[in-house]
Every structure is written in C-alpha cells, then in structure tokens.
Chain A
C-alpha cells in the first residue's frame, strides 16, 4: 500500500514538475522583454531614463511622440541611484537601450571609445534650428573629444548653498557673503546646538560637491579640466592640497556635525535633517528645491533660501563659476535599428510643449529661449536665479563623478569619503589621487 501511494505521488510529482518546467521556460522567454538581438526589436525604440520627479515630463513626451510616429517608443525608467550602473551593464548586452539618458562627459566616454554612439555633430551643423535651440555652452559641456553625442533634454542643475531661514532667524545669523562669514556661522550654529551643514556623507557625492567648489574657488576651473583631460599631474596643483586641508579644517570645526558619515541622501536623511531645523545649511544640487517642495512643502515655501558658494581667501577661481550638472542628454546607440526615428525622438527635446512641461515641473530648461518662459515656473525668482547664474558663469564644471570615467570616478568618490572621515590626511588624499 505504501509503495502504491508513493507511486501515485511520484507520478503526480513528475507531472507537476514537467508542467512547471515547461511553463516557466516559456514564461521566462516570453517575459524577456523586447530583446531580440539588437535591442528595440521591430519598429520600437527602447528609451532609458533616470527615474525621479521629472520623469513624468518624459512620459508625456513619449506619448506625444508615439501619436505621430510609426516607430513606437518604449520608455524604461530606472530608479535613481542605480541608473548609471544598470545602464552601463546593459550597454554590454544585446538589450542595450537605443536612446538613453546620460550626463555627457565621462558617463559616456567608454562608449565613445568603443564607437558605440551616434556622432551628432553633423546633425547640429546641418540643422540650424537644432543648433539655435540650446544654450551653446550647455551643448558643449556634453562633448567628448570635441564631438557632440548628446542632445540636452532636462533642466540645469547647478549646486547651490541652501539655507533654513527659520534656523538663521533664531540664531540671528545673516546670509554668508564670504568664507569668514561661513566659518563664523559654523561657530554660531554649533553654539545653538544645530549642525551647521547637513551633509549626506554615507553617499560620496554630496561630499564631492564641497571638494568641487573648493577646488574651483582655490585654483579655478582649469585645475580640474587638466585632470579630466587625463593629466594626472593636475592633482599636484597646490589648490588640491589647499582644498583637502580646508575639508579637514571644516570637519575638525564640526561644520558637518559628528554623524554625517552615517547620513544618506538617497533615503533623504540629510534633506530631512535640514528641513526639520536640525541643520542650518545644505550644499546640494538645485533639485533640492523640488525635493523639499515634494516632501516638506511648508518648509520649501516658508523657510528655504539659497545662495552661491562664497570665495575663499587667496583663491584664484572666479566666484561666478558653477559646479553641478549643466543638464542631461539623450544619446543614440549606433546599434539602434530605427536610426531615423531615434534622431527624430531626440530632437523632440527642443519641442515647445516639452520645454513648457519642464518649466511647469520646476525645471529650468537649457534652451536659448528659456528665460522668457520662466515666468510660468512655480517659483520664477528661483528659476531666474539659476538661469542667470548659469548664463553668467564663465565655467560650469560637470560633477566629477560624471566627468570622469567609471574607472576613475569610483576611487575618487571613495578617497573623498575617506578624507572627510579622517581616514586619509590631506597629504595622503593628494597622494592617493595622484596614483589613480
């Protein structure tokens, strides 16, 4: 009886197993997405975008594009932080996107090296309207080896110094105009029991923003330009040492509090601290504004102020220089089957409705006619401040983690974290960077 029972069970098990294996193999293949070799597949464009608050503007763009085009766009949104890694990983596979969001510079350098991207320079030369549409310096900062590989497709993102005016008022403090003011504020706020600067040190890149501005103010934009162009002796510039020492000094003064190394940005640790009045200032990309607007709307409306990064004593850099992301770009994969449609799609970035949507979403577009549209921005004053800042900036340094190739960006971020954590002295930091 026992064997009978098990025999029946055995058969049921076998049938069950066979069914499962078959169905899952089929399901596995079926759900592989539109991934016949070459990506995209028949009559579609696989477009990848970084997922954040602005994504809905691209969603609308895709809808409009698909209405008038035979080739349909499939928009893939990749969640925040992992975008760069995911995109980079997929680019090595048959599932590579046809058109993808990027930061220009080092973020696409490897692809350019392997000749994987469509050179858009001829297109910009041929199409006068396209060329006219965008601020030239913004198009230029996306160049790699003097060629254009990207069409600007989002707002500008300069890094600004944000302030919590509630905290300032309570401490009777004023907007910092100079480096001395800034250092004085550190002491003022420490006495108040408030962290002077919110800093998301668990992620490397918010710390990088400090280093970028300090190096720019001490040595001018040229120093990093040399480094970016592959001249590693740029790290030996005395301004790098000054920068590293200043970081040490700020950390020692307690400018960032004690636990900044545990605070993260991706889970909104730093922004929340700042909004809740536990920190007085926050050096962050201009997106911090819309971020606060979404999550702490009252704070964004009542107590959020902003200013530029001050000059440093003895610094050679122009105080009007800006660091951050000039904008983001669409680039086209050479392997895309629908080249014409892809080209048409990236040109949509200059479309009237799209620019309008960007403004309505709180972005400051990088089109030449953006200024006239900024009155429709939710906060025209803030939008114009950014726009003029960028327009008047002699140099707009692209964030290092995007300007450098992945091979250099990762260790750079790590070393900067170590500098902030006191695991590297200023001298050791400079030595480590020279070695990259």
Chain B
C-alpha cells in the first residue's frame, strides 16, 4: 500500500525521532493501515459483501436450493403490489414511532430519578435493571405465557384494560399494542441506564444556582436537566429507532406476525418469505428495502442530530 509506505521509514528508525521533534511527533509510532486490515476484511466478508449480495439476489428467483437464477425486476414489481409489504412498512414506522413515544418519557423520568444517590433509588434501579438480563427469546416466551387468554396474567387483568376475554394477542390492535409494550418493557431499562448516566454528569452547580434563584423541581427539570441531556436523548433515540426498525425476535415468538398479518413488520415479513415460504429472491427484495430504509433513517438522524459528530469528528468528510 503506497500510503503506508510513507510511514515506514519513520517506524523503522524511531531513534531518528528526537532529532526532529516537530516531524517526529506527527509520524513516529503511528500504526500503518495494515493494522486495520484483518478487521476490515472480516467486516467486509460478513457485512458489506452480504449487503451487496442482497441487492443482487433481489433480482433473482431462488428457493434456497441450488443456485439463484436471474428473473429481472419481477420481485420488484411484485413488491410494489404486495399489500403485506405495504402494511409491513406502515407497521414498522408505527412501531418505531410508538416505541419512541412510550420509551423516551418513561426512561427519561426514571433515569433522572434514579440518578439520585438515595439508597431507595439505588435499590429500585437495581430491580428496574433486571429485564436487561434476559434475552429477547426468554422475554418473548415469558410474555407469551402471561398473555395467554385463558391461563395467563391477561386473563386476570384483561378486564381492567378493555380486553375482557383476554383476547389481546388475537386482536389486531391488541397484538400490536402487546408488541410495543413488550419492546418497551424490555428496552426501557437500557435507556433508563443511559439517562441515569447522563444525568449524573450534569454539574451540580447548575442546580445550586437554580435553587438559589428559587426554581422548583419541575422548572429545574425543564430548564437544566432536559437541555443538559440533549446528547443522551439523541443517542437513546437513535438506538430506539434503529432497534425498532430491526425488531424481530419478539414478534416471531409472541405473534408470528399475526393475527393474520397484523403485526408482520418488515423484518418479520422478510423472514417469513425467506425461511418459511422459501422465496429467497423475493425476500431479498424485501431485505433491500429494509437496508435502504434503515440506512436512510440512520443517516437522516445522523444529519439532523449530529449523532456522528459526537463520536466521530470526521463525520461528513
């Protein structure tokens, strides 16, 4: 690699460095690009190449056996007219929206609250953390049994929340609400943790000053805590959005996309098409849409919020 070769002399002769401080400080001891090659190759093979392949496969007919054969834009015109896909996109966007709307306020409030050092808060936040320890599969199974209309928790509390016969997972809205709820139940602890971390780093002097000015708790929250947590909110939101767009495990276990296709969000529709109906060419077209949407949304968020700049000062170059 020509680029790294310019570094070679310096690396080979470090003893030459002291003689020229200025130039030495720029080049000495710097790693060559070779250091990143193993990781890059690895990442390319299992993430970049598949991403390109999925686009290629979207122009083929392949049932998972033998080799794919090209079939032009057939998958794409089919995709355009697929009502389940349209529904899936709507559902995915709604899931993203609702998860954000449910999770952010709760996680923010609990996170800020648990940032306090009182003993009670510490104990409670240790309990609040617990759902994070379980895998999506474990939680999916737990909630599936709790939501069983005849023998689960929902049979007892269903009547309170408008599902007198416990038919939550069997009704269109109920099943979707259940997905949003379970997703929130599972992920709020993570975001709580982020907000807790963020809130603890707000300088106390700001609150002291506000206290002197006579600001109450509520006003302190809105005029100090919230603005100070701006970056945490952005981080947490980006994670939520990307997480919701790629949500899958829980849907497979809890509803299998049902009733009918009422919870068949895009990733589930893709899985169902690819690994249950074995139309892998068509599933690749769905997957391509998923890649485009997820990438688009992430980039958009990065642009709007400057998320990338927080970590990478090179963003946009």
A residues adjacent to B (C-beta < 8 A): 85, 88-89, 91-92, 110-111, 114, 116, 201-204, 257-264, 267, 269, 272-273, 278, 406-407, 409-411, 414, 417-418, 421, 423-424
Contact with A along B146-172 (1 / 0, CB 8 A): 011111000000000000011111111
- Given A411-B277, A414-B261, A418-B260, residue A258 in contact with residue B167 (CB < 8 A): yes
Contact of A89 among B259, B262, B275 (CB under 8 A): B275
- Least distance between B178 CB and chain A CB atoms (Å): 10
Task: Name, among A259, A264, A406, the residue most crowded by chain B CB atoms within 10 Å (CB to CB).
Answer: A259
- Flag the segment in B58-66, B93-101, B227-235, B294-302 that touches A: B58-66
The interface residues of chain A lying within 8 Å CB-to-CB of B262 are 423
* Chain B residue at smallest Cβ distance from A263: B149
Contact with A along B124-152 (1 / 0, CB 8 A): 00000000000000000000110111110
Taken together as a complex, chains A and B put the C-alpha atoms of A410 and B268 apart, in Å, by 13
Please tell me if the beta carbons of A85 and B149 are within 8 angstroms of each other in the complex: no
Please tell me if the beta carbons of B149 and A88 are within 8 angstroms of each other in the complex: no
The interface residues of chain B lying within 8 Å CB-to-CB of A410 are 272-273, 276-277
* Chain B residue at smallest Cβ distance from A419: B260
* Chain A to chain B contacts (Cβ below 8 Å), 8 pairs: A89-B275, A110-B65, A111-B65, A259-B165, A263-B170, A269-B151, A414-B260, A418-B261
Taken together as a complex, chains A and B put the C-alpha atoms of A88 and B145 apart, in Å, by 29
Total number of B residues with any Cβ neighbor in A under 8 Å: 35
The interface residues of chain B lying within 8 Å CB-to-CB of A423 are 172, 259-260, 262
**Does B113 make an interface contact (CB < 8 A)?**
no
- Given A201-B170, A407-B278, A410-B272, residue A262 in contact with residue B260 (CB < 8 A): no
Please tell me if the beta carbons of B150 and A263 are within 8 angstroms of each other in the complex: yes
B residues adjacent to A (C-beta < 8 A): 63-66, 84, 144-145, 147-151, 165-172, 255-262, 272-273, 275-279
Please tell me if the beta carbons of B65 and A202 are within 8 angstroms of each other in the complex: no
Interface of B is mostly: loop
Taken together as a complex, chains A and B put the C-alpha atoms of A88 and B278 apart, in Å, by 8
* Chain A residue at smallest Cβ distance from B81: A435
- Given A202-B258, A406-B277, residue A88 in contact with residue B64 (CB < 8 A): yes
In the complex, the 6 A-B pairs of residues with the closest C-beta atoms, listed nearest first: A261-B170, A262-B170, A259-B167, A418-B260, A410-B277, A259-B149
Taken together as a complex, chains A and B put the C-alpha atoms of A333 and B151 apart, in Å, by 44
- Least distance between B87 CB and chain A CB atoms (Å): 10
- Least distance between B238 CB and chain A CB atoms (Å): 30
Please tell me if the beta carbons of A262 and B277 are within 8 angstroms of each other in the complex: no
* Chain B residue at smallest Cβ distance from A110: B63
Please tell me if the beta carbons of A259 and B277 are within 8 angstroms of each other in the complex: no
Please tell me if the beta carbons of B277 and A260 are within 8 angstroms of each other in the complex: no
Please tell me if the beta carbons of B259 and A269 are within 8 angstroms of each other in the complex: no
The interface residues of chain B lying within 8 Å CB-to-CB of A111 are 65
Please tell me if the beta carbons of B166 and A262 are within 8 angstroms of each other in the complex: yes
Please tell me if the beta carbons of A421 and B165 are within 8 angstroms of each other in the complex: no
- Least distance between A79 CB and chain B CB atoms (Å): 14
Taken together as a complex, chains A and B put the C-alpha atoms of A270 and B260 apart, in Å, by 18
Contact of A262 among B84, B167, B272 (CB under 8 A): B167
Taken together as a complex, chains A and B put the C-alpha atoms of A370 and B290 apart, in Å, by 54
Please tell me if the beta carbons of A407 and B277 are within 8 angstroms of each other in the complex: yes
Please tell me if the beta carbons of A272 and B259 are within 8 angstroms of each other in the complex: no
The interface residues of chain B lying within 8 Å CB-to-CB of A204 are 258
The interface residues of chain A lying within 8 Å CB-to-CB of B84 are 414
Contact of B65 among A114, A258, A267, A272 (CB under 8 A): A114
Taken together as a complex, chains A and B put the C-alpha atoms of A407 and B61 apart, in Å, by 12
- Given A85-B275, A263-B149, A410-B276, residue A421 in contact with residue B166 (CB < 8 A): no
* Chain A residue at smallest Cβ distance from B83: A432
* Chain B residue at smallest Cβ distance from A409: B277
Taken together as a complex, chains A and B put the C-alpha atoms of A407 and B144 apart, in Å, by 28
Taken together as a complex, chains A and B put the C-alpha atoms of A177 and B172 apart, in Å, by 36
Please tell me if the beta carbons of B64 and A92 are within 8 angstroms of each other in the complex: yes
Taken together as a complex, chains A and B put the C-alpha atoms of A267 and B144 apart, in Å, by 10
* Chain B residue at smallest Cβ distance from A262: B170
Please tell me if the beta carbons of B150 and A272 are within 8 angstroms of each other in the complex: yes
* Chain A residue at smallest Cβ distance from B63: A110
Contact of B148 among A89, A92, A267 (CB under 8 A): A267
Taken together as a complex, chains A and B put the C-alpha atoms of A263 and B144 apart, in Å, by 11
Taken together as a complex, chains A and B put the C-alpha atoms of A203 and B260 apart, in Å, by 10
Please tell me if the beta carbons of B145 and A267 are within 8 angstroms of each other in the complex: yes
Taken together as a complex, chains A and B put the C-alpha atoms of A88 and B28 apart, in Å, by 56
Taken together as a complex, chains A and B put the C-alpha atoms of A410 and B261 apart, in Å, by 11
